[in-house]
Amino acid sequence: MLRHIKSDIRAVFDNDPAARSMFEVVFTYSGLHAIWAHRVAHTLFKRKFYTLARIVSQVSRFMTGIEIHPGARIGNRLFIDHGMGVVIGETCEIGDDVVIYQGVTLGGTGKEKGKRHPTIGSNVVIGSGAKVLGSFRVGENCNIGSNSVVLREVPDNSTVVGNPGRIVKRNGQRVGDRLDHTQLPDPVIEMFRSMQNEINTLRAEVNSLRESSVAVREPSEQQPVKIPVGGGEL
Ligand SMILES: CC(C)(COP(=O)(O)OP(=O)(O)OC[C@H]1O[C@@H](n2cnc3c(N)ncnc32)[C@H](O)[C@@H]1OP(=O)(O)O)[C@@H](O)C(=O)NCCC(=O)NCCS
Q: Which atom of ligand 1 is nearest to the CA of 143?
A: 3
Buried b (16+ CB within 10 A) or exposed e, 121-154: bbbbbbbbbbbbbbbebbbbebbbbeebbbeeeb
> Which CATH superfamily hosts domain 1-174?
Hexapeptide repeat proteins (2.160.10.10)
Mean pLDDT (whole number) for 42-50: 97
Q: Are 117 and 91 in contact (CB under 8 A)?
A: yes
Lowest mean per-residue pLDDT among 39-43, 147-151, 220-224: 220-224
Would you state the pLDDT for residue 231? 47
Would you state the pLDDT for residue 222? 55
Quick one: pLDDT band at residue 62, thresholds 50, 70, 90?
very high
Domain ranges across the chain: 1-174
Quick one: pLDDT band at residue 13, thresholds 50, 70, 90?
very high
Residue percentage of the chain with pLDDT more than 90: 76
Would you state the pLDDT for residue 11? 94
Residue nearest to atom 20 of ligand 1 (CA): 145
Would you state the pLDDT for residue 112? 83
169 Cβ below 6 A of ligand 1: yes
Cβ neighbors of 159 (< 8 A, separation 6 or more) are 142, 143, 144, 145, 167, 168, 169, 170
Q: Are 115 and 132 in contact (CB under 8 A)?
A: no
Question: Cis peptide before 164, with omega less than 30 degrees from 0?
Answer: yes
Would you state the pLDDT for residue 212? 87
What is the rounded CA–CA span in Å between residue 119 and residue 204?
62
Cβ neighbors of 176 (< 8 A, separation 6 or more) are 166, 167, 168
Would you state the pLDDT for residue 163? 93
Closest CA to 90 of 64, 68, 112: 68
Model confidence, pTM: 0.78
143 Cβ below 6 A of ligand 1: yes
Q: Are 61 and 67 in contact (CB under 8 A)?
A: yes
162 alpha carbon – ligand 1 mean position (Å): 9
161 alpha carbon – ligand 1 mean position (Å): 7
Express each pLDDT in 202-213 by its tens digit: 999 999 999 888
Would you state the pLDDT for residue 81? 95
- On the question of pLDDT at 184 being above 80, the answer is no
Q: What separation in angstroms does the CA of 5 have from each of 2, 16, 72, 77, 217?
A: 5, 17, 18, 9, 94
Three-class SS of residue 84?
Answer: coil
Express each pLDDT in 15-25 by its tens digit: 999 999 999 99
Express each pLDDT in 94-140 by its tens digit: 999 999 999 999 999 988 889 999 999 999 999 999 999 999 999 99
What is the rounded CA–CA span in Å between residue 157 and residue 31?
25
What average pLDDT does the chain have? Answer: 90
Three-class SS of residue 107?
Answer: strand
Cβ neighbors of 105 (< 8 A, separation 6 or more) are 86, 87, 130, 131, 132, 133
